[in-house]
Amino acid sequence: MNKKTNERPVFPFTSIVGQEEMKLSLILNVIDPKIGGVMIMGDRGTGKSTIVRALVDLLPPIDVIENDPYNSDPYDTELMSDEILEKIKKKENLTKIQIKTPMVDLPLGATEDRVCGTIDIEKAISEGKKAFEPGLLAQANRGILYVDEVNLLDDHLVDVLLDSAASGWNTVEREGISICHPARFILIGSGNPEEGELRPQLLDRFGMHAQIKTVKEPSLRVKIVQQRELFERNPQEFKEKYKEEQNKLMNNIITARKKFKNITIKYELLEKISQICSELNVDGLRGDMVTSRASKALVAFENRNEVTPKDIFTVITLCLRHRLRKDPLESIDSGFKVQEIFKKVFNY
């Protein structure tokens, strides 16, 4: 079964026409997962889920401990389940294997138990053991959790997802029994604005917000349709055509991940980012932090060493547009507003 799902052909990321804003947001989050995920809003049929699924093909395989439901990292205790830590203390022999970076699709009707996992109370009481059935958050550890139509999901469930994504841990409590396991994943949500927005306090917890619009230019639309037809006719041949570009992008991402921690950003640039957030009345400090991290991830991706105002300009709209207070009477696009203030503060 598993082998079959792994072989399902995935549209190559580098063959996707347009949607640069979304592609950039996803790549930056893969370089630095602490950016806090991406919310993608756009019309129906604009390829949102195609692009997200294509992203997984770019990620390098990860080392895990065999038969562990949490994808425990053999080298990092922060990313290990309690069971594995216990086995390491007892100096048990553990088999390490490599798997594809996990990507978990959250079904719209999922219950909290399905997402977080369940504790078998009867077994716990009768046998005195913590009988835990892991959920989707355990499967998504060290990978990507994708929620399509996130704006139609129950607010409480969105809260649970965002909490886990921010803390890197999932805690399940039932009848005085508590289980905690690592759940570090990149949260990607997508939705159609016509079906309603997320509550502002939930929206603010997503690191970046990409908007996708239907391509208007006829020649580009034709190219997109042709690409899709070629892929469906012969997926393997189509993927082979983009293999070199895919490998190049994958290597760039791997290099950028290593380089990221050495990227510097000058104090005066940080001060200007904060000034922009302040002038836009952005609540809290999340906007300042995400803009700084995303700028550094961009510099790492482009294989440079220091953040420039141009880097900040490239990412700041994606980091702040969803954090502005909505004025129902205002017709100006929030992204345009962010750019306006940026130009004023930076004399750009």
Catalytic residue numbers, as ranges: 286
Q: CA–CA separation, 163 vs 306, rounded Å? A: 32
**Whether 188 contacts 49, CB under 8 Å:** no
Q: CA–CA separation, 29 vs 339, rounded Å? A: 22
**CB under 8 Å to 290, separation ≥6 — which residues?**
35, 36, 207, 208, 319
The SS3 of residue 20 is: helix
Residue tagged 């950039």 (tokens): 24
Select from 141, 149, 139 the least CA-distant residue to 188: 149
b/e map of 194-228 (b: 16 or more CB within 10 Å)? eeeebeeebbbbbbbbbbbeebeeeeeeeebeebb
**Whether 30 contacts 58, CB under 8 Å:** yes
Residue tagged 């997984």 (tokens): 56
Q: CA–CA separation, 265 vs 320, rounded Å? A: 19
Q: CA–CA separation, 188 vs 37, rounded Å? A: 6
Look up residue 171 and give its two tokens. Answer: 């805690």
